[in-house]
Structure 1
Amino acid sequence: MAVGAGRSSRRRVSMLVALVAAATLTACQGEVLGPLPVATVVARPAGEAPPAAVAFAPLTGRSADAAALAHPSLAVKVDNHENARPQIALNRTDIVFEELVEGGLTRYVAVWHSDIPDEVGPVRSIRPMDPDIATPFGGIIAYSGGQEQFVEMMMATPLVNLVFDYDDTGLFHRADERPGPHDVILASAEAVTRNASVAPPSVQFAYGSADPLAAPAYVAVPTSSVELVFSDERFPSWQWDAAASAWQRSQEGAPDLEASGERVRATNVVTLRVAIDDSYGEVPRTVMVSSGEAWVSVAGRTAHGTWAKDAPGSPIRLTADDGSPLRLAPGNTWVELVPDDGSVAFTP
C-alpha cells in the first residue's frame, strides 16, 4: 500500500509539473511568457477624500452629491408685482408655486434646496394658503410679515420662520435700486447656513425619465404652449423650447425675465385647478387640502390627471387618468394653482 501510494504521489507531481511548463509557453514557436501578474493595492495618499456618495435631490430628482444636500430647504414668499420684477434667482429654484392674491395679482412660494443662491427676493408678506403649501417641505420659510392671523398660522407650523418685520440679525435688507415695498432682499445662503442642522426635505413628486410621458398609457398630447388665466390682471404662459429642453415663461404676453437677464424657465409645468375660499374678505385663500383636475406638461407633451392633498403636511399626489402616478422629468418644477373660475389651455 505504501509503495502504491508513493507512485500515485509521484504521478500527480509529474502531471502538475507538466501543466506548469505548458502554461509558460505560448502556442507560437515556444515563446516563453513573463511571470504571471501579481495584484497590487494602490494606497490612497494621506488626506485624499473618498469618492462622494451619489444621491438624488428630493425636490428635483437629479443626481447630486449627498453631502451637498444635507441641509434644509428654504421656502420664500416672492413678490410678483410689476414693480417687483425682475425677481432674483428664480431659475435656481427647485419648485415654485404661483398663487392668486388680492387684486387679481399673483405671488410665489419659491423653494430652494439643491442650489442655494446668496440672495433671493423681493420678499413679500404671507397669505392664508401658504402654511399648507410650505409645511410638506419642512425646513425654513421666509416672508416679510402679513396680517397677524396669517403670521400666527405660519408660526404654528413646524417650519423655522424668518420674518423681515421681526428680524434683528441682518438676514434681510432693502435694495436701494428697487422701489418699496418691493425691495426686501433675503441673504438666503446665510439663512440656510444658520439653520444647517434642520432636516432636509422629503420627496414631493414622482420622477421618471427625461421624457416621462412618452408611455402610451398616459395619452399625452403634443404641446407647444400652456396658456393660463388667473384673472384679468395675471395670465402667464409657457412655450416649449425643444433646443433648450425647457418651458420658457411669459407674463401678460411678454417674456418673463429674472434679474440675471435669463428667461424664466422650467423642466416641468404642473397645472392644478383649485377652489378659492373667500372667507378672509378681499384676501383669497387657495384651498390646498382638497383634490381636483391636474395636467403635467413635460418635454413638449401634456398628460391629464388628478391631484390630491390629504393634510396640511402631506405632499401633493399626482395621478394619471389610468390610475398610475404622473411622473415628472428630473429638473425644476413650477406648480400653477389656477382658480376654478380661471382658464387653462394647451396648444399643440
Structure 2
Amino acid sequence: MTVQQSISTNKNTILVTGGAGFIGANFLLDWIAAGLGQVINLDKLTYAGNLENLASIEQNPAHIFIAGDIADKALIAKLLAEYQPRAVVNFAAESHVDRSIHGPEDFIQTNVVGTFHLLEEVRAYWGKLSAQDQSTFRFLHVSTDEVYGSLGADDTPFTETTAYAPNSPYSASKAASDHLVRAYHHTYGLPVLTTNCSNNYGAFQFPEKLIPLVLNNALAGKPLPIYGNGSNVRDWLYVGDHCSAIRRVLAEGKVGEVYNVGGWNEKTNLDVVHTLCAILDELKPKASGSYRDQITFVKDRAGHDQRYAIDARKIERELGWKPEETFDTGIRKTVAWYLENQEWVSHVTSGEYRQWLDKNYTERAV
C-alpha cells in the first residue's frame, strides 16, 4: 500500500475567480499595487468580464490570466495542481437582478453549479495539502446582502445571523452558493470565509448598474431611467473599501465565519441620481438646464426589494475594518473616473450592451 505524499502551497500565490469583472478587477489592481504576491486570474470573460479593466497589469509577471469557467472541473484541478495557491477568492458570479429576471438559467449554472464544481476541486486539492498548509489555506467566497431579502423602512439592518429570504433568481442563486460554502466547511472541514457586501460603486463598473448607467445616459443626452418612484433604498459601498475588507478577512478572518461589509451609506435611488446630476452639473455642465431634466420614471422591476441595509459592526469589532470613503467622497471619485475614461465606456457600451438596454428599458412604460 502506497502512502500519498502531501503537497505544499505556494505562499506567494492566490487564485482569484472572476478577476476581470468590476469588483474582481479592482481587487487584483489593488493587490498587485500593494505587492502582495502573484495572482492567478480565472475569468470566463462574459459580457461583464473585460480585460481592458486590467490593462495596467497586462505585462506584470505577478498577474497570470487564464480564460475559463469555474464550472470546468478539469481546468480548476489543473490550475490548483500547477500553481498550488495558498488561497482561492471567488468573485465569479452572474450578478444583475434584471438579467436574472429575463434569463435565470445562466445564474443557476454559474452561481450554483459553478460554485459547486469549484468547491469540489478545491476540497480535493486541500485534502492533499500537508497538515500545516491545510491549516493556513483559505477559500473566500464573495457574496451579497441581497440574500437576506428586503427590509421595511424601520427594520434593523442585516446582520450575519439574519435569516436568508432571497427574492430574485439572482439572490436565490447567490443564497444557494452561500449555503454550499457553509456546508463544505461543516461537512468536510474546508476552511472557508464568506463576505456579504452592500451595493458597490466605483471604477470599471459595467454600465447596466444604476450609477454607471445614469452617468452614461446623462452624458449622451438620454433619459435617466428610475424604477417606480425612486424610493428604493440601498447601502452604498465604494469598491476600494470593499477590496480592503476582503483583504482583511482573508488575512485575519475566523474560519467558517461570515462578515457583512457595508458602507454605512443608505440612500434612495432618487437621491443617488440627484447627487450624480449635481456633480455632473458642476464638472461637465450642459449648455442649458440641468442633467436632472433627463430623469424619467419607468415601470418598476418585478419583485423589486424596497430596502437593503448592512450592519457592518462585526467586521469592525473583530477585524478592525471600516470604510474609508463616505458616499460624498467615493461618488466624486467615481464620477471623475468615468469622465476621464470615456474611451473605456465607449468600448464596453457596444452592440450587446445596446441590445440589453433595448430589452430591459425600451418596453417599460413611462
TM range (shorter): under 0.3
Looking at secondary structure, tell me which structure has more helix per residue.
2
Looking at secondary structure, tell me which structure has more strand per residue.
1
Which structure is richer in relative contact order (CA contacts within 8 A, separation 6 or more)?
Answer: 1
Normalized against structure 1, the TM-score is what? 0.24
Asked which structure has the greater CA Rg, the reply is: 1
